[in-house]
Amino acid sequence: AVGYRSLWEPTLLLRFRFITSSSNIIQDGYNRLKNSSFIIKRLDSDLLVLSNKYLEELRLLPNSKLSNVHAQVKNMLGDYSYSTFLLHNDQHVRVLQNYLTPNLSTFLGRAREEMDYSFTQDIPRPDRFTEVDIQKVLQTMIARISSRVFVGRVTCRNEEWLKLCLEFPLNLFATTFIMRMFPPLLHPILALLLPTRYWLRRNLLDAERLLTPIIKDHQERGITQVLGQITTPEKADLLEWMVADSGPNADPKTLAQRILFLSLASIHSTSSAASNAIFDLCAHPEYIAPLREEIQTLLPDPKHCSKQDLNRLWKLDSFLKESQRFNPPILLSPQRVALTDIQLSDGTRISKGTSIAFPSAALLMDPNLVENPETFDGFRAHRKRMELRPGEVFRHSMVTTDKDHLYFGHGKQACPGRFFAANEIKMILIWFLLEFDFRLPQNSQGEARRPKTFTIDEMCFADPRAKIEMRVQSS
Ligand code: HEM
């Protein structure tokens, strides 16, 4: 177990220190034991952090032995966040793998329509530099875009639904975080007292109320047709696919809740990646001109570009990959729970019930893996891609996972929404780069500093008070 300040430090104190000092504690374990394993003492449970040398072997194990959804539900405290139903089937993953990703071009077209609408609704267009809460703006924009793809044109314009999508993750995070600070014995009492858990329950009931008539309508129209038309999803949204996939007697309540959990997985992760990219552009403005040039040179119609057009933007992809390296959403990823005893080829034993994790953030800053890791080098991956043979160029793209790059997890259970997320972020950045000038505001000492990143346990997030200044481009 790592992180103890002395032999006498009580374990409970270490567990509390992990809340705010997770980064140092994990780095300490990584520096000493990166080729084997170490234990992290989190308030609610222990995590066995394994060397990434085990990843290739573990990646081949089926979900019935090593499960990511069990890890997610455990982190969310199961029934206390009403999330245990996710263990019963993996429809929220299949809908992304079997419907969203194979039809990405169609769904990106819809995403772009909603993004255009959001640029008219949510973003100020001042002529002079004006402070903007960019994180809030992007959360709203991405909630709109995700909702358009998940639940369709009508519901995505429903302000109540959008508010719900933004509130639900906050209530869930607050509930689980507060409860994890107390021993499990007290959880049943806390669950009754916590207002955030009451609001969480209300969010789920609201989702049920808003979506049930739509789900019933799909069921009545015999929406099973959608499955037959999977390659040309002119109309269907993800909810329709899920209704069809569930059969005629599906419970609208479960479907509504699953969509809300899907929004949870997609909105804050994507908006935080997009916000961080904009903060990085402000902190490294030397990248703005070459990125604008790439967009203007390679895209015939930048604001109406296709998936193929986006694939040509290697510099933008590289910049985003470097921004990911500096701003991972989580310090320990992927996480899994062993559902059986597991013996690895070198004899390492993992007993049933163990939560395991990989030191993803430490790997991204390891000087043995990344040259000058402390330097923000936005075209690092672009240079590597230029050196590769044509068939290999995707090896360094932002969505490709490997054992040293675990931003989106790894293996069969890696993030199934990453292809959509990456293209969505690129479309948003193209708009920002072509329409606006932006910069960091100066503080009282006249300095413009990139906003800090905070951690709570292994979760990372940018300073929620951070702002940028932006104006419509003058030329
Ligand atoms: C930049 C944005 C995003 C980041 C950084 C991110 C990151 C991750 C990570 C690290 C995992 C765990 C993977 C593993 O355990 O190996 C994950 C899982 C997941 N992500 Fe994402 N994600 C993003 C966007 C999205 C989007 C847009 C969607 C939906 C369209 C989505 C849906 C999911 C789902 C459903 C899972 C659970 C997969 C499972 O249970 O097998 N994510 N994501």
- Ligand 1 pocket residue status of 357, Cβ below 6 Å: no
CA of 470 to the centre of ligand 1 (A): 30
Q: What is the pLDDT of residue 474?
A: 75
Across residues 151-166, what is the average pLDDT? 95
Among 415, 420, 425, the mutation site with the greatest number of ligand 1 atoms within 8 A of its Cβ is 415
Q: What is the pLDDT of residue 298?
A: 93
Based on the fold, state whether residues 188 and 217 are members of the same structural domain: yes
Q: What is the pLDDT of residue 128?
A: 94
Instruction: Please give the number of the atom of ligand 1 that sits closest to the Cα of 360.
Output: 10
Instruction: Please give the number of the atom of ligand 1 that sits closest to the Cα of 93.
Output: 35
Instruction: Please give the number of the atom of ligand 1 that sits closest to the Cα of 72.
Output: 40
Based on the fold, state whether residues 24 and 103 are members of the same structural domain: no
Residue 320: name the closest of 328, 308, 330 by CA: 328
- Ligand 1 pocket residue status of 416, Cβ below 6 Å: yes
Based on the fold, state whether residues 300 and 348 are members of the same structural domain: no
Give me the domain span that covers residue 185.
76-329+367-403+407-472
Q: Which residues carry a binding-site annotation?
A: 415
Q: What is the pLDDT of residue 230?
A: 45
The distance of Cα 376 from the centroid of its chain, to the nearest Å, equals 21
Q: What is the pLDDT of residue 223?
A: 54
Instruction: Please give the number of the atom of ligand 1 that sits closest to the Cα of 333.
Output: 10
Instruction: Please give the number of the atom of ligand 1 that sits closest to the Cα of 424.
Output: 27
Among 269, 423, 427, the mutation site with the greatest number of ligand 1 atoms within 8 A of its Cβ is 269
Q: CATH number of the domain that 13 lies in?
A: 3.30.43.20
Cα–Cα distance measured from residue 174 to residue 301, given in angstroms and rounded to the nearest whole number = 43
Q: What is the pLDDT of residue 232?
A: 45
Q: What is the pLDDT of residue 167?
A: 96
What residue's CA is closest to ligand 1, atom 32?
Answer: 417
Based on the fold, state whether residues 145 and 197 are members of the same structural domain: yes
Choosing from 313, 340, 366, the residue where a domain stops is 366
By percentage, how much of the chain surpasses pLDDT 90?
80
CB atoms within 10 A of CB 221: 12
**Is ipTM over 0.95?**
yes
Based on the fold, state whether residues 137 and 17 are members of the same structural domain: no
Beta-carbon contacts of residue 250 (< 8 Å; ≥ 6 apart): 215, 219, 243
What residue's CA is closest to ligand 1, atom 20?
Answer: 415
Q: What is the pLDDT of residue 225?
A: 53
Based on the fold, state whether residues 15 and 26 are members of the same structural domain: yes
- Ligand 1 pocket residue status of 413, Cβ below 6 Å: yes
What residue's CA is closest to ligand 1, atom 19?
Answer: 415
Q: CATH number of the domain that 285 lies in?
A: 1.10.630.10
Based on the fold, state whether residues 187 and 254 are members of the same structural domain: yes
Q: What is the pLDDT of residue 246?
A: 87
For the stretch 88-116, pLDDT in tens is: 999 999 999 999 999 999 999 999 999 99
pLDDT exceeds cutoff 80 at 231: no
Average pLDDT of every residue of the chain: 92
Q: What is the pLDDT of residue 182?
A: 85
Torsion-angle region of residue 431: left (phi > 0), alpha (psi -120 to 50) or beta? alpha
Cα–Cα distance measured from residue 107 to residue 153, given in angstroms and rounded to the nearest whole number = 12
Instruction: Please give the number of the atom of ligand 1 that sits closest to the Cα of 421.
Output: 27
Q: Which residues carry a binding-site annotation for heme?
A: 415
Based on the fold, state whether residues 306 and 395 are members of the same structural domain: yes
Cα–Cα distance measured from residue 364 to residue 331, given in angstroms and rounded to the nearest whole number = 10
- Ligand 1 pocket residue status of 355, Cβ below 6 Å: no
Cα–Cα distance measured from residue 383 to residue 386, given in angstroms and rounded to the nearest whole number = 5
Whether a cis peptide bond, with omega within 30° of 0, leads into 334 is yes
Walk across the sheet containing 468-472 and list its strands. Answer: 130-132, 468-472, 436-439
pLDDT exceeds cutoff 50 at 369: yes
Cβ(280)–Cβ(376) below 8 Å: yes
Token representation of residue 411: 């293996």
Based on the fold, state whether residues 182 and 145 are members of the same structural domain: yes
What residue's CA is closest to ligand 1, atom 6?
Answer: 408
CA of 408 to the centre of ligand 1 (A): 6
- Ligand 1 pocket residue status of 233, Cβ below 6 Å: no
For the stretch 18-60, pLDDT in tens is: 999 999 999 999 999 999 999 999 988 999 999 999 998 998 8
CA of 129 to the centre of ligand 1 (A): 35
For residue 131, give Cα distances in angstroms to 36, 117, 281, 382, 454: 47, 22, 16, 32, 22
Choosing from 366, 387, 417, the residue where a domain stops is 366
Q: Give 226's pLDDT tier (boundaries 50, 70, 90).
A: low
Cα–Cα distance measured from residue 106 to residue 300, given in angstroms and rounded to the nearest whole number = 19
CA of 58 to the centre of ligand 1 (A): 19
Cα–Cα distance measured from residue 255 to residue 117, given in angstroms and rounded to the nearest whole number = 27
Based on the fold, state whether residues 250 and 342 are members of the same structural domain: no
For the stretch 389-435, pLDDT in tens is: 766 777 889 999 999 999 999 888 899 999 999 999 999 999 999 99
Choosing from 307, 342, 366, the residue where a domain stops is 366
Based on the fold, state whether residues 205 and 292 are members of the same structural domain: yes
pLDDT exceeds cutoff 60 at 224: no
- Tally of structural domains, the chain: 2
Cβ(461)–Cβ(356) below 8 Å: no
- Ligand 1 pocket residue status of 359, Cβ below 6 Å: no
Based on the fold, state whether residues 318 and 428 are members of the same structural domain: yes
CA of 266 to the centre of ligand 1 (A): 7
- Ligand 1 pocket residue status of 270, Cβ below 6 Å: yes
Q: What is the pLDDT of residue 475?
A: 62
pLDDT exceeds cutoff 90 at 276: yes
By percentage, how much of the chain surpasses pLDDT 70?
96
